[in-house]
Amino acid sequence: MWYKIDWNQFAVNMLPTFLRKPVNSAFAQLFLRAVISIYIKWVKWRSLNLYKLEHTGQVCSLRKSLNDNFDSLERRIYIGEGNAFDTVYIYTEAEAQQVYINDTIYLRTEGETADTGLDFIVWVPLEVFNTEIHGLKAHIEFYKAGGKRYSIFIING
């Protein structure tokens, strides 16, 4: 590729042919140490930007990038719908609504029910939530589409 440069070979090639001795070559390579250091930083920066360009705010792409960065071994992070649970309403006697409760009712927070106003929920393990919550939020903010609302929940388990 155009950006892959062998700087040691470059230093030798820039010497006139009658000065291409081992001592002169080493001396020329010594002058390029700072350039090599900047070049290595640039290559890392380039690969990071290419990685960012390869991923989008789509669910599959966002999930992959989150798992790559925050849970690369077990890959437990996933993205769910904004409607986590359906809401069950229990009426008072004054409302005169009959609802028969046969199943177990779980009390849920407003953030977990269907009227959350969230577009998606990111489910993460507890250890990721405790240690890297700010990086996780910044990562999601970078990739999510504008106007999308989300929340981060901990995986029970």
Q: What is the pLDDT of residues 54-105, one digit of tens each?
A: 999 899 999 999 999 999 999 999 998 876 566 666 666 677 666 666 666 6
Is 26 a residue whose pLDDT tops 90? yes
Report the DSSP beta bridge partners of residue 153. 123
Examine the domain organization and report whether 61 and 49 are in the same domain.
no
| 35 has a pLDDT exceeding 70 | yes
Strands (E), the chain: 78-81, 120-124, 150-154
DSSP letter string over 11-30?
A: HHHTS-GGG--HHHHHHHHH
Distance of CA 134 to the CA centre of its chain: 11
Which of 15, 39, 54 delimits the end of a domain? 54
Same domain, 42 and 77: no
CA angle 82, 84, 90 (to 5 degrees): 125
C-alpha distance from residue 104 to each of 7, 14, 40, 88, 145 (Å):
70, 80, 60, 11, 37
For residue 155, what is the DSSP state? P
Domain that holds residue 42: 1-54
Tokens coding 30: 């010594």
Say if pTM beats, i.e. exceeds, 0.75: no
Of 54, 76, 95, which closes a domain? 54
Q: Same structural domain for residues 9 and 66?
A: no
Per-residue pLDDT, 84:
55
Residue 108, both tokens: 């849920």
Within this chain, do residues 111 and 34 fall inside the same structural domain, yes or no? Answer: no
Digit-coded pLDDT (tens) for 122-154: 999 999 999 999 999 999 999 998 888 899 999
pLDDT at residue 106 above 90?
Answer: no
Residues 86 and 134 in one domain: yes
Residue 123 and residue 48 share a domain: no
Q: What is the rounded distance in angstroms from the CA atom of residue 13 to the CA atom of residue 150?
A: 56
14 and 83 belong to one structural domain: no
Same domain membership, residue 87 and residue 45? no
pLDDT band at 2 (very low <50, low <70, confident <90, very high): confident
How many folded domains does the chain comprise? Answer: 2
Could you tell me if 45 and 19 lie in one domain?
yes
C-alpha angle 4-50-135 in degrees, rounded to nearest 5: 130
